[in-house]
Structure 1
Amino acid sequence: MQLTSPIGVFDSGYGGLTVLREIVKKLPQYDYLYLGDNARAPYGPRSFDTVYQYTLECVQWFFSQGCELVVLACNTASAKALRTIQQKDLPRIDPSKRVLGVIRPTTEIIGNYSQTQEVGILGTSGTVQSGSYPIEIEKFFPDLKVYQEACPMWVPLVENNEYDKPGADYFIRQHIDQLMGQSGQIDTVLLACTHYPLLIDKIRKTLPPGTQIVSQGNIVADSLADYLQRHPGMERKISRGAGRVFYTTDSTADFDNHAAVFFGEPVHSLHLDLSKG
């Protein structure tokens, strides 16, 4: 299927499909082009410069496919690459195009969920080390106390289909105990990685009863809908064929097998070799 001007949705792997799933539910009329850079995943442990270079390469590919708007449905890419791409690269490549992330929409509303004004962030090492969430949250909720915990094993658990196995329990409890050990007043926990919704049942069982769990799919979908309403010029550029095309930089068979779990329906992907430009 050839899409003329789809919305691009990018992730280092499969996790962004949990965001795309909610976006499609909210805005089914548009065309969507998804790319998972599975061959170079995970992005979480990689340096800022490497994540930036990989993300920029993928964003430029989206632009070459006719995308006017690209959503980085990846917390690590949003944390380590988005600002530089927006400020340095877009003015040079094409000032009319837009690249959006998942951190800003989440930080704009996360404080509304907490009664104690203390929230916990569970994310990849890269997202936590970037400090992006505390920095952005302070702009909207300066009195909110933010505690973070990096969970480097969680993405590999999900991507290796171990997320619902008993072996995952140890790693989930380990990091939740470390997060909640920072403060007994944390009443809201943000899953700051798009892979983590697949672990939500185990996370819920491990957290203290009554703790709110916030995942990002609905938040990003609502934010995108609001963005398009406020930017009718951009909205008019997006093609409306309700098409969905999926690409991976790794094995299409592996991608399709995993992606169905994240996206909630069968996926048939195409292979992309970025080395060929």
Structure 2
Amino acid sequence: MLNKQPIGIFDSGYGGLTVFRSIADQLPGYDYIYLGDNARAPYGNRSFKTIHEYTWECVQLLFEMGCPLVILACNTASSKALRTIQQQDLKNEDPSKRVLGVIRPTAEVIGNYTQTKQIGVLGTKGTVQSESYLIEINNFFPDVKVHQQACPLWVPLIENGESNQPGADYFVKKYLDQVLAQSDQIDTILLACTHYPLLQEKISAYLPAHIKVVPQGDIVAKSLKDYLERHPEMEHKFTRGGTQQFFTTSDDTADFDHHASIFFGEQVRSKYIPLK
């Protein structure tokens, strides 16, 4: 690894693989390392302090593996840890390194999807409570009204392989009904959790045909591509061997590989990386 400088992608578990899939498709040829903190997932209901501690520990692991830049492909980590990492931790660790999230690039464009200026944001409890999307979307689209809805049971359903089962329908409809009850003018639904694309077919089935469902993968990938074009001093650091490595903090790599392959869309072979 000492001769490689990959792009690092971090998530609390599997969800970030949907973002990684889009990044690998739009930016092929680079070396990549994905790290899932499955031993401590889910992050959604944890405190700001704990999420920052866990996220920063994993970011440092990716730095140690040679990554000059790490993408937090996790809305909860982006909402609760990114600001502290960018403003404090990196200054003490290495100011030349970069950590980016998924909330800002999404907020920069999501207002372009709506005609009614009314958006529903579906996320984990942690993401919703942080109000990060309310703040960021208002910065770029002050005329857009954001209606948030926490969907605390969606991630457990997905990670336990129940997303395609009939039992998932009840909870999909339940949370959609709750967000739509906030306004009958919502015409755009943002999937503000990287797990949720695995439920997208069910979500769309329970929504009126005129409501657009927007996942984040392609948005984040396009934003990263633009970032690298604007920052050649960073882009030139990355090696281009076309390798993809997967690591998990869970010692059950077989279980990780099984679930990760579903999220990533192709076979995954991971390695266990112990937490210090």
Q: 2:2 touches 2:65 (CA, 8 Å); kept in 1? A: no
- Matched residue, 1:29: 29
- Matched residue, 1:257: 258
How far is 1:3 from its partner? 6.4
Range with bigger deviation, 19-28 or 1-10: 1-10
Note the 1:74-93 alignment, pairs <5 A.
74-93=74-93
- Matched residue, 1:130: 130
SS across alignment from 1:185:
coil
Query: Kindly, what percent of the aligned residue pairs are identical?
Result: 65
- Matched residue, 2:162: 162
SS across alignment from 1:34:
strand
Distance 1:15 1:179 in 2: 22
Distance 1:230 1:14 in 2: 29
Distance 2:233 2:210 in 1: 43
Q: What amino acid sits opposite 2:258 in the alignment?
A: N
The alignment status of 1:102 with 2:102, answered yes or no, reads yes
Note the 1:261-272 alignment, pairs <5 A.
261-272=262-273
- Matched residue, 1:217: 217
Distance 2:73 2:19 in 1: 6
Q: 1:3 touches 1:31 (CA, 8 Å); kept in 2? A: no
Q: What amino acid sits opposite 2:62 in the alignment?
A: F
Q: What amino acid sits opposite 2:268 in the alignment?
A: V
- Matched residue, 1:7: 7
How far is 1:209 from its partner? 1.6
Q: 1:3 touches 1:243 (CA, 8 Å); kept in 2? A: no
Distance 2:105 2:84 in 1: 18
The two structures, once aligned, show a CA RMSD in angstroms of 0.9
Return the TM-score normalized by structure 2. Answer: 0.98
| Deviations, residues 86-134 of structure 1 (Å, cap 9, x unaligned) | 0000011000000000000000000000000000000000000000000
Return the TM-score normalized by structure 1. Answer: 0.98
How far is 1:207 from its partner? 1.2
Distance 1:148 1:43 in 2: 18
Distance 1:210 1:243 in 2: 40
SS across alignment from 2:190:
strand
Distance 1:242 1:262 in 2: 20
How far is 1:175 from its partner? 0.3
SS across alignment from 1:164:
coil
Distance 1:29 1:225 in 2: 13
Distance 2:67 2:79 in 1: 22
Note the 1:187-198 alignment, pairs <5 A.
187-198=187-198
How far is 1:208 from its partner? 1.6
Distance 2:91 2:237 in 1: 19
- Matched residue, 1:153: 153
Consecutive aligned runs of 4 or more in structure 1 exceeding 3 Å deviation: none
Distance 1:154 1:21 in 2: 21
